[in-house]
Chain A
Amino acid sequence: VDKAWKELSNILSGIFCASLNFIDSTNTVTPTASFKPLGLTNGTDHRLLRYAVLPREIVCTENLTPWKKLLPCGSKAGLAVLLKAERLFHSSYHSQAVHIRPICRDASCLAVSWELRQTLTVVFETFSSGQGKKDWSLFKMFSRTLTEACPLASQSKIYVDVSAKDKEKELLEVTPSPTAVHEAIVQGEKRTYAVYDLLSPSLFNTSRSLNVQLKWKRPQDSLELSVPVLHAQRYVSGYGLQTGEISTLIYNTHPYRAFPVILLETVPWYLRLYVHTLTIITKGKENKPSYIHYQPAQDRRRPHLLEMLIQLPANSVTKITIQFERALLKWTEYTPDPNHGFYVSPSVLSALVPSVIAMKDADMEQSPLFTTLFPSSDGSSYFVRLYTEPLLVNLPTPDFSMPYNVICLTCTVVAVCYGSFYNLLTRTFHVEEPTRGGLAKRLANIIRKFRGVPPL
């Protein structure tokens, strides 16, 4: 499996122009409980699973271009026309993903085919750039509009969230008018979506291009964002370059339901975790996890892996702390800017969050794309996978300009010892014979005779 993993990371690195080839055994772990393979699988042997994170790499234009090339129409037709790099990277958050899983080819499931799902998530900040109003349009965000759907696509839709919190339908308005309206329960809340079906011929009848616009009718006095039921944050504390502490805070804001969450932490080997300092505190009391899997790191070979199943009581904050010690690396193992620090990859929280509103089984046939975005396993809870922030940790650095000097000085010290011991071991004491003196001594004696001083 490790060989296949290495080949996969190298191939992906080549396809997406990303530095995924830096994935090796020092940042790959084998989680036991956090991840389950999606789609059709035969068994769930966790030893075949690999998980790696490269927190130092960032997403840039070179990664977007091959990603777009994987789309059937490329960036020439359909929704992908909107994806231009200079607007996409002018945003607060950007994320690209490629998911591959085996699925049944048809209803009888006689043959297995591979499903490729590409997702792109971008968060635009229109408030600061839109003259203080929260109206947006496709043209304002992407500086272009849609002209036609991709001919190869069997479905091409745009969903706009028009949920109104206070059941006042006149709060916002979308133009042009949507082809349909879809209601669903997403992540425990009832939401309404306006649907634009690009393949329906009625959409492009009036104008050649489609520019979806959203206008707020009344200015918002205060916007309360609903707090998600499960959220987390992580930080490093401690001072100095010797020790530190990683703390993870997990919030459960559900008013009355408790649920378990699986926490997966991968810490690089040069931050040596001390598992006897692991403490989990909820509401002031200690919380013992029902399942712990800990695999300590091996220097330069394997990172730490800590997986725990923690029960979160309703309406609580859970604090997980673990102390670590920083190691001194060899001078070649530091990155070119060693004082920037080293990244610790984000920890993964997986949970089945109970939803406040009961959900009906979603209709898979009608909107397959929608349900893959917001899957739910049964009517009462939905699956959430959260990633915390990556951390930046400083390590003590040796002086990089000194290798030759250090070698010389240390070998000098060893040679001092060797020299004095050699002298003492191989030479014996003798009474000193008086010598006639070398040239210098004779010269000194002549000068002394002139001065009237006794000779040496």
Chain B
Amino acid sequence: VVEGLALLDLGVSPYSGAIFHETPLIIYLFHFLIEYAELVFMITDVLTAVALYLAIQDFNKVVFKKQKLLIELDKYAPDVAELIRTPMEMHYIPLKVALFYLLNPYTVMSCVAKSTCTINNTVIAFFILATIKGSAFLSAVFLALATYQSLYPLTLFAPALLYLLQRQFIPVKLKSKSFWLYTMQYAALYLCSLVVIICLSFFLLNSWDFIPSVYGFILSVPDLTPNIGLFWYFFAEMFEHFSLFFVCVFQINVFFYTIPLAVKLKEHPVFFMFVQIAIISIFKSYPTVGDIALYMAFLPVWSHLYRFLRNIFILSCVLIVCSLLFPVLWHLWIYAGSANSNFYYAITLTFNIGQILLVSDYFYAFLRREYYLTHGLYLTREDGTEAMLVLK
């Protein structure tokens, strides 16, 4: 960002080079705030935590209401008393969420490094707050801002839509007219705000240069600086012939889980949002630890799933060990020269597998709990012996 500002001062378009890839609104924001940069980043982190706190507070109320409704409707099996969530246990969850975000070492690292990822996180947190509060307009505006900054939050359109429909008690049926009406309204709000923001950026810098620099850069991955993701080494070692094909495959991979997840999780849009944010942070073209901090902040919300998680100990060990090994192997490769790029790449692979398995573990536990809620906790077979559950 500082480089972009220096180029702007020299009279050269910041996007004529290949160093600067942030959006024009960020340039103008930092034009005024560059002296107080540390303070700005601390404040954005605090804002994110506050937004998450308020959002989860409201979400807990919604969850409790829904649970009460389902109990009255007798949808739950008789012996699931231990799975029902009580207000007592849910009281401290919002505080835990805020603390999880603020005290996460990844968040602290992003703040110290003054990475613009924290601003991204703030916008997404406000988007979640607006969605859970039920305001379609604000939620569309924040989602447009988030998409404007990095392309991937586009996929969060689906969970937000599902949540707002649920809130308005509109059932999700393809033939229902009110469903399509609401969808069109929300999509129109979102697209209009996106167009307004893009045109505003055009008028700020008087050129469309920023579109290939920002979005073309995210989509075509030209810069191969090593990061914690999977893309960089893959494209550094790719045969020239296939690079376009694999770029397309990797980008489709991020967007592709939205529809199946929407079909499966249409009753639970907030969990869908969590899984979607996790998938974005793992598979985006330039991931940073700030993105990981955002979805990890949600983990206390699903703390009631703890008894169904299968591999949580191993996964937390893998994640902690990999985070510790990252800087060590980076130093060995770049500064000491005694290790290869393969060492760092291996840790990248392990770290990403750890994250993927963490998300899928939570997903498994969530689905399993739903099954137990509707079918009873102590399952017996026809002959009375204890039954096992498998996925078939």
Contact = CB atoms under 8 A, between A and B. Distances in A.
Contacts of A406: 233-234, 237, 345
A167 interface: no
A424 B364 CA distance: 7
Contacts of A402: 237, 342
Nearest to B12: A294
B226 to A, nearest CB: 6
A398 B230 contact: no
B46 interface: no
A419 to B, nearest CB: 9
A114 B337 CA distance: 54
Given A241-B337, A416-B356, A429-B390, A403 B237 contact: yes
A398 B389 CA distance: 46
A414 B283 CA distance: 9
A298 B222 CA distance: 10
A67 interface: no
B195 interface: no
Interface string A401-431: 0110011011001101110110111111111
Nearest to A429: B371
A257 B349 CA distance: 62
B389 A276 contact: no
A338 to B, nearest CB: 12
Given A296-B16, A403-B238, A421-B257, A428 B381 contact: no
B360 to A, nearest CB: 4
A241 B230 contact: no
Interface string A169-199: 0000000000000000000000000000000
Interface string A255-299: 000000000000001001011100000000000000010111111
B387 interface: yes
Contacts of B240: 330, 332
B19 interface: yes
Given A298-B18, A413-B353, A429-B390, A292 B10 contact: yes
A329 B230 contact: no
B335 A297 contact: no
A434 interface: yes
B357 interface: yes
B2 interface: yes
A432 interface: yes
A384 B37 CA distance: 46
B381 A431 contact: yes
Between A329, A396, A406, the greatest number of chain B beta carbons within 10 A of the residue's beta carbon is seen for A406
Contact of B7 (A272, A296, A300): A296
Contacts of B390: 429-430, 432
A240 interface: yes
A276 to B, nearest CB: 3
B16 A399 contact: no
Nearest to A400: B237
A443 B223 CA distance: 59
A430 B236 CA distance: 45
A398 B367 contact: no
Contact of B360 (A241, A413, A421): A421
B172 interface: no
A269 B222 CA distance: 12
Among A297, A329, A396, A418, the most chain B Cβ lie within 10 Å of the Cβ of A396
Contact of A423 (B341, B388, B389, B391): B391
Nearest to B225: A328
Interface residues of A, number: 53
Contacts of A420: 356-357, 360
A330 B236 contact: yes
Nearest to A242: B334
B234 A410 contact: yes
A420 B257 CA distance: 12
Interface string B221-254: 0111110001011111111100000000010010
A331 interface: yes
B79 to A, nearest CB: 15
A328 B12 contact: no
Interface in B359-388: 360, 363-364, 367-368, 371, 379, 381, 387-388
B333 interface: yes
B363 A424 contact: yes
B224 A327 contact: yes
A240 B335 CA distance: 4
Contact of A275 (B6, B340, B389): B6
Nearest to B263: A425
A397 interface: yes
B352 interface: yes
B82 interface: no
A450 interface: no
Contact of A417 (B5, B225, B264, B282): B282
B261 interface: yes
B236 A296 contact: no
Contact of B226 (A328, A407, A410, A430): A328
Contacts of B232: 328
B87 interface: no
B224 A276 contact: no
Centre residue among A402, A414, A424, A425 by max chain B CB count within 10 A: A424
A299 B233 CA distance: 17
Given A421-B257, A427-B391, A399 B341 contact: yes
A330 B388 contact: no
A427 B19 CA distance: 46
Contact of A240 (B17, B250, B263, B334): B334
B231 to A, nearest CB: 8
Contacts of A413: 230, 349, 352-353, 356
Contacts of B250: 414
B89 interface: no
Contacts of A297: 17-18
Nearest to A426: B260
A274 B20 CA distance: 10
A437 B389 CA distance: 18
A328 B236 CA distance: 8
B392 interface: yes
A298 B16 contact: yes
B230 A239 contact: no
Given A275-B6, A327-B225, A424 B367 contact: yes
Contacts of B340: 399
Contacts of A423: 391
Contacts of B233: 398, 406, 410
Contacts of A300: 222
B72 interface: no
A94 B253 CA distance: 57
A291 to B, nearest CB: 11
Contact of B334 (A241, A327, A426, A427): A241
Nearest to A427: B391
Contacts of B74: none
Contacts of A294: 7, 10, 12
Given A299-B223, A430-B392, A431-B381, A239 B335 contact: yes
B3 interface: yes
Contact of A425 (B5, B236, B260): B260
A292 B6 CA distance: 13
Given A274-B6, A420-B357, A430-B391, 9 more contacts: A276-B2, A276-B3, A294-B7, A296-B7, A330-B235, A397-B341, A416-B357, A420-B356, A421-B261
8 contacts: A300-B222, A396-B333, A402-B342, A406-B233, A413-B356, A417-B356, A425-B263, A434-B381
The 8 nearest A-B residue pairs measured at CB: A296-B17, A276-B6, A240-B335, A420-B360, A427-B391, A403-B237, A429-B371, A406-B237
